Copies of this chain bind each other. A is one copy, B any other.
Amino acid sequence: MKKKVAIIGVTGSVGQEFVVSLNNHPWFEIVQIAASNKSAGKKYLESIKDAGSGIINWHPASPIPEYVKDMTVDKVEDIKIDNIDLVFSSIESEAAREIESKFAKFVPVISTSSAYRYDEDVPILIPGINDEHVDLIDVQKKNRNWNGFVAPIPNCTTTGLAITLKPLYEQFGTNKVIMTSMQAISGAGRTPGVPAMDITDNIIPYIPNEEKKVRIETAKILGKINEGKINNANIKISCTCTRVPVIDGHTESVSIETSKPIDPTLVKKSYEEYFNDLNILSLPSAPPKYYEIHDEPTRPQPRIDREINDGMTTSIGRLEKEIIFDHGIKYVLFSHNKKMGSAKGAILLAELLYKKGKI
């Protein structure tokens, strides 16, 4: 018996990725889909069709699964809570807080929205990176008197940074992080998203709120849970987030100061030890390899590395000592913002929570 899933915000760009990534899922099956009132009552295929032009606004590379085309899009309030085991939410953040709480009273809600990320009793989870934070879910349920809970994934720019920092933070101590991101246009969604007029042959050196999110979320994810509370990691994180003319996948140039001596060989060893026996690697949506280190200096590259393991592997290159710190390392990472950093990452999280008996 598969767990019954509802998707909220199913017509949007992330919602569509949920539809694709849940197709033929061994543990989860979509039983209800919901979106804004504008779409409600229509068949899914109709709901993503532009009324004027008849154009189907479907964004993923894979086609719409046949059985979904004919599913009716419901209003959010028409989701039959008794009939579902789990909600995937990708609604816009302003509305998210209220809507997600309505469901969390009864069932688990896995969310790509930032609505609850900064609440004390809400963990921001990346499978394999801070699994012990799952314990905070029980605190949350108790605090709020909920039968379900809200479990958000981080912002897509945080994901790759937190993944690559984790083993180093644990083993070498990480005091300072400076990061410059070169983020893909798909990170801004598609309706309307980034206008082509703004980004063609151009860089926009600013993404509203992004830098703050990365700073707060990274420190929380790397934090330790203690007596039902997360103590944020004591790292200073500085970041500059830019938008570049790349379709999918975020590239980040990272420099870190560590407490202990570090060099590329030590990093490789550290990653190997940390990642190679991650037990999350047996989850259905997990990639065969969680990370990939490239010695070739021209990697990672978005157009090549976004394809690896369906976007679930974090790629690392340009590993070098960071000369401005007594102990430090610098590298360039690549993380797929629409896959590991979004819907498919959220499904991986659901799989983890399922394994842990939380769903």
Contacts and interface: CB of A to CB of B under 8 A. Distances in A.
Given A56-B296, A185-B197, A323-B238, A246 B247 contact: no
Interface stretch (A65-73, A198-206, A268-276): A198-206
B54 A201 contact: no
A190 B197 contact: yes
A178 B246 contact: no
A311 interface: no
Contact of A301 (B203, B208, B300): B203
A95 interface: no
B303 A251 contact: no
A330 B201 CA distance: 24
Contact of A296 (B54, B185, B257, B302): B54
B201 A201 contact: yes
Size class of the contact patch on chain A: 35 or more
Contacts of A300: 205
Nearest to A245: B245
A278 to B, nearest CB: 23
A352 interface: no
Contacts of A205: 251, 253, 297-301, 317-318, 332
A204 B192 CA distance: 16
Interface string A301-334: 1111001000000000110001110000010100
